[in-house]
């Protein structure tokens, strides 16, 4: 494909994408395909000779689109929102078109500097203190990670390294090696004694980060009467108990907007304990963080002045498509120092004057992810983003009222932001049956969750195309199917 | 931006990208900007009100493109190639446009199934045995990771988990906790005794993976007379010595195509030792792996039948843009089991019949990266990809001959694939001076490396636009500047 062909076919692809969005409503949110469907559609070896673009283009609907789950369908209410918008797509076209790889400042100055700028913009929009800004003279920094699970893993690894360093003198004797120059030798002697904390409602990505980090993670009890948010006294008691067992508490991953019920841990009170006890405090605000751009939801970042690292998924609720997950460090120099590898082929003359983002992520290469955020923030503006969040919260409220008015149903947790947790008042099994009926029916798509043994259904407002009428439609589908139970 | 505007502006962006490529030669490969340049060009807060697309579009050249490093410029010879092509850009447009997030099969069936298909295509193209295919009934699997550093980290973590399990009975007593139901409790007791190996020539990402994995990594000696490839007897001696010190050898990361000199470790002989000694063998073929699609370079995958995991960056040398880094597991069920988290909201009815790729990567969310590989493989065909590799190897050979003919210069290692390592025959300092002159001059861009204390310059063929004339041009620039030393 030469440049003239790209001008032709690229524009056809623009129309293909616009047509997809214009006609999304004609589809159902999930497809009918079964595992292995592709074997009948795609050969099992790559072609020796080039194929025409028309042949490839002709396969797109049946191989890719018809067999997909449509995250932006107005009747897709599963998981949490994963954002998208036309300006965001524009950013990805440019990122792909330039094809830069920005592991150091030198390898792509504009990738580094635009990311520094955009993460500062976002920090200010949600009310983070100046210490987290790249433009602040202190050691704080903001970076764009792929997604919240990556940010949590980075927080686990950085806090683990800090704990290993702080407590090194408590470690048992280690087996040494006579050739230190050729040995990478992280201090893992204390790992079996390190313990981190999170709420039992925290995302499974937190559990996974603990497994990957090789450290214990204790999942702390929450209470329904406290809307499933983690309270400070529960953390304080756990720390005390674990210290008595000879363990070393070193990290709390607090959640602002849990996946099951959008619960909010008490970051301010928890942060005071973390400071007093020397724990790293990471806040996973993956979904809810975006809402803090509205003054009425600014309570979501209360206590952030006590935090060591903070993350939210811009790609969830700020009209930027996956992946775009900013993470801020109170002290990026510290995180950098733990995992610093600096081979001669990555050195450059500006190293001491700016950030090399490779130090603040697990991998090396990186894409130009700030472009799409920059385009969205400028093209839509803060007011437009606030309007989208307020609109989606209002739709959740509308659905919550429908649940409350129907005596067969109850809310499983208070409606918070764009999420409604609801259930038939009868048994868990009845609700499992209802979920199956709804998802087999395929007019709408939702997922379940549970808390303290109670199984419930979640309806999350996900698509920018969802209207008040779609909420009524979803409720009618659920009521119709509930009749069969 | 509504769909009509997207049709208009999206097509302007297609032309912007095509114009960029058509006029790449008018630029220099690196820019003149200094750290902080963006402060004069971009405000320090996001706008409240939306801006017009024309205003945003008007900023692109000065903020983004003029301040970038042009990885596809015909005179960019740094690092290794990072590929791109028009069909690849088409794939990223569609991926962004659909905006699916494919952490489970259900969350995006076509994302999962096309990735299974494309990784099988790639495995066959480079000659991997059937055990690595998704279509094989066994437990092997292929997945697309972001990049080689992620694949190496996954290999470190999976092999560490296997070692902790296999050697659990050797561990010292562990501090237990009375509430196992709420405790994530990976077994880290043996970490201080675990030791992995790699060549001293391995990429810094291998060192970093060891630091992040919390395990020792011993960097093994190579020999110039062996072209800096790792030999089996060196590994055997290290294992023996380390066992005598009470350490537990568990992993070898072998490199096929090192960053300094494109050296190749002896995978077949090393693999036999790994099998005999119970070590996981991961092969990092980030750069060189692509060349194995040519029969004459198939020696690059010799011994792969002995490998536990294998990875190369399709985005380096197969005309697919960053990120696209397939990784194959001999036993994906095993890797999955170590880090399995399976919350209710990610469960689905097809779990036992297919792959949920979230289990084989560190993070959760994932993009539709197989699209761009599928487009490139079909649009260019295997023969076209082979032709590109052969052409770039011939250009490296041409440059190597120019070096050899000039009595002031010498090769620092044999020319291998698309890389030439060369130096002035005098001192390291003289070569450092030469590098600075070349990169300050900015007509071409290269980076240095070193091996066994010898500093040298690397010229890697990176751009599909580089011609024989560009090689002569680069050589003339180097000779001209060498006159000043």
ipTM of the complex as predicted: 0.96
In this complex, the residue of B106, B200, B345 whose CB is nearest that of residue A448 is B345
Residue of higher predicted confidence among B434 and A180: B434
Mean pLDDT of chain A: 95
Q: What is the pLDDT at residue A166?
A: 87
Tokens 């990026």 identify what position? A332
Q: pLDDT tens across A356-386, in order?
A: 999 999 999 999 999 999 999 999 999 999 9
Instruction: Flag if B188 and A191 touch (Cβ within 8 Å).
Output: yes
Q: How near does any CA of chain A get to the CA of B417, in Å?
A: 19
Chain A positions touching B458 (Cβ under 8 A) are 345
Residue A342 is predicted with a pLDDT of: 84
Beta carbons of B175 and A192 less than 8 Å apart:
yes
Our CA-based measurement puts residue B321 at a distance from the nearest CA of chain A, in whole angstroms, of 6
Tell me: the pLDDT tens digits for B5-41? 999 999 999 999 999 999 999 999 999 999 999 999 9
Among candidates B69, B107, B210 on the partner chain, residue whose Cβ is nearest the Cβ of A107: B69
Residues of B with Cβ-Cβ distance to A2 under 8 angstroms:
86
Closest CA to B154 of B251, B272, B255, B287: B251
- Mutation for testing the B interface, residue in A30, A73, A89, A366 having most B CBs under 10 Å: A89
pLDDT tens across B376-387, in order? 999 999 999 999
A125 lies within 8 A of chain B by CB: yes
Q: Which of A17-21, A190-194, A323-327 bottoms out in mean pLDDT, i.e. has the lowest?
A: A190-194
Q: What is the mean pLDDT of residues B271-280?
A: 98
List A264's β-bridge partners, or say none: A256
Give tens-digit pLDDT for B35-63. 999 999 999 999 999 999 999 999 999 99
> In the numeric block, which tokens belong to residue B214?
């919390």
- The reply to whether residue B99 touches residue A113, judged by beta carbons under 8 angstroms, is no
Lowest mean pLDDT among A26-35, A149-158, B144-153, B168-177: B168-177
Using an 8 Å CB-CB cutoff, list chain B residues near A450: 344
pLDDT digits (tens, 9 = 90+) for A167-198: 877 765 555 555 555 788 888 989 999 999 99
Task: Note whether B186 contacts A210, CB cutoff 8 Å.
Answer: yes
CA–CA gap between residue A227 and residue B417 (Å, rounded):
61
User: Which domains, from first to last, does chain B contain?
Assistant: 100-169+187-367 (3.40.640.10)
Structure confidence at residue A183 (pLDDT): 80
Q: By the 8 A CB rule, do A306 and B408 touch?
A: no
Residues A91-150: pLDDT tens digits?
A: 999 999 999 999 999 999 999 999 999 999 999 999 999 999 999 999 999 999 999 999
B interface mutation test: which of A53, A65, A88, A90 has the most B CBs within 10 A?
A90
Q: What mean pLDDT value characterizes chain B?
A: 95
- Residue A67 has its nearest CB partner, among B17, B36, B110, at B110
Residue A283: what pLDDT? 98
Averaged pLDDT for residues B436-447: 97
Smallest CA–CA distance, residue A238 to chain B, in Å, is 11
Query: 322-361 in A: which are within 8 Å (CB) of B?
Result: 322-323, 338-339, 341-346, 350, 353-354
Do B121 and A45 count as a contact with CB atoms less than 8 A apart? yes
pLDDT recorded at residue B124:
98
Mean pLDDT of the region A40-68:
98
- Please state the rounded mean pLDDT for residues A322-327: 98
For residue A60, name the pLDDT band (cuts at 50, 70, 90).
Answer: very high
Nearest to B176 by CA among A191, A235, A209, A246: A246
CA distances from A68 to A118, A123, B92, B113 (A): 32, 34, 16, 10
Residues of B in contact with A210 (CB under 8 A): 184, 186
Residue B173 has pLDDT above 60, yes or no: no
Please tell me if residue A442 touches chain B, with a CB cutoff of 8 Å: no
How many residues are recorded in chain A? 485
Task: Give B232's Cβ-side CA count (13 Å radius).
Answer: 14
- Looking at residues A8-16, what average pLDDT do you find? 98
Q: Of the candidates A251, A46, A233, A271, which has an alpha carbon nearest to the alpha carbon of residue A152?
A: A251
- Percentage with pLDDT > 70 across chain A: 98
State how far the Cα of A123 lies from the Cα of B113, in Å rounded to an integer. Answer: 38
Do B194 and B248 form a contact (C-beta atoms < 8 A)? Answer: yes
Query: What is the Cα–Cα distance from A184 to A206, expressed in whole angstroms?
Result: 27
Mean pLDDT of A226-254: 96
- Interface membership of B225 toward A (CB under 8 Å): no
CB contact under 8 A, B365 and A3: no
pLDDT in tens, B187-246: 898 999 999 999 999 999 999 999 999 999 999 999 999 999 999 999 999 999 999 999
Report residue A469 as tokens: 């009428």
The H or E element containing residue A473 is helix A468-482
Sequence-distant (6+) residues with CB within 8 A of A44 are B117, B120, B121, B135
Mean pLDDT, residues B129-156? 97
Greatest Cα pair distance in chain A: 74
**Residue in B79, B82, B364 nearest the CB of A149:** B364
A453 touches chain B (CB under 8 A): no
pLDDT of residue B286: 98
pLDDT at position A165 is 86
Contacts of A385 (CB under 8 A, 6+ apart): A290, A293, A318, A319, A376, A377
A300 to each of A81, A393, B201, how far by Cα in Å? 18, 14, 48
Residues A442, A445, A451, A454, Cα dihedral to 10°: -30
């Amino acid at each position: 494909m030469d440049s003239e062909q790209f001008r032709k076919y690229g524009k056809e692809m623009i129309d293909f994408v616009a047509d997809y969005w214009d006609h999304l409503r004609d589809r159902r949110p999930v497809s009918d395909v079964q595992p292995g469907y592709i074997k009948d559609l795609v050969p099992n070896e790559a072609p020796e000779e080039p194929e025409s673009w028309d042949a490839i283009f002709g396969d797109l609907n049946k191989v890719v689109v018809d067999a997909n789950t449509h995250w932006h369908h107005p009747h897709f209410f599963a998981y949490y929102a994963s954002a998208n918008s036309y300006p965001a797509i524009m950013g990805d076209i440019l990122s792909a078109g330039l094809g830069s790889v920005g592991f150091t400042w030198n390898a792509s100055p504009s990738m580094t500097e635009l990311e520094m700028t955009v993460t500062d913009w976002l920090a200010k929009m949600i009310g983070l203190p100046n210490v987290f800004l790249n433009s602040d003279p202190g050691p704080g920094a903001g970076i764009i990670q792929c997604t919240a699970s990556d940010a949590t893993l980075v927080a686990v690894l950085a806090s683990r390294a800090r704990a290993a360093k702080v407590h090194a003198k408590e470690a048992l004797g280690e087996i040494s090696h006579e050739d230190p120059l050729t040995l990478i030798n992280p201090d893992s002697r204390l790992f079996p004694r390190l313990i981190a904390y999170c709420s039992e409602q925290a995302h499974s990505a937190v559990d996974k980060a603990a497994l990957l980090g090789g450290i214990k993670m204790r999942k702390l009890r929450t209470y329904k009467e406290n809307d499933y948010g983690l309270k400070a006294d529960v953390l304080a008691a756990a720390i005390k108990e674990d210290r008595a067992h000879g363990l070393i508490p070193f990290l709390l991953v607090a959640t602002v907007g849990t996946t099951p019920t959008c619960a909010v841990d008490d970051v301010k009170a928890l942060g005071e304990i973390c400071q007093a006890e020397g724990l790293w405090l990471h806040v996973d605000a993956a979904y809810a963080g975006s809402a803090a751009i509205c003054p009425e939801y600014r309570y979501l970042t209360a206590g952030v002045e006590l935090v060591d690292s903070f993350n939210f998924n811009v790609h969830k609720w700020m009209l930027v498509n996956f992946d775009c997950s900013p993470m801020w460090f109170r002290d990026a120099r510290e995180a950098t120092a733990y995992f610093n590898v600096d081979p001669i082929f990555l050195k450059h003359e500006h190293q001491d004057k700016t950030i090399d983002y490779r130090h603040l992520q697990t991998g090396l290469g990186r894409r130009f992810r700030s472009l799409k955020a920059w385009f969205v923030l400028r093209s839509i503006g803060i007011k437009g983003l606030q309007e989208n969040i307020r609109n989606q919260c209002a739709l959740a409220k509308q659905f919550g009222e429908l649940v409350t008015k129907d005596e067969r149903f109850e809310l499983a947790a208070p409606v918070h932001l764009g999420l409604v947790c609801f259930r038939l008042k009868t048994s868990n099994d009845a609700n499992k049956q209802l979920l199956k009926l709804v998802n087999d029916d395929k007019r709408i798509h939702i997922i379940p969750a549970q808390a303290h043994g109670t199984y419930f259904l979640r309806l999350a407002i996900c698509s920018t195309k969802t209207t008040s009428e779609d909420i009524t439609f979803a409720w009618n589908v659920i009521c119709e199917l509930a009749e069969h139970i």
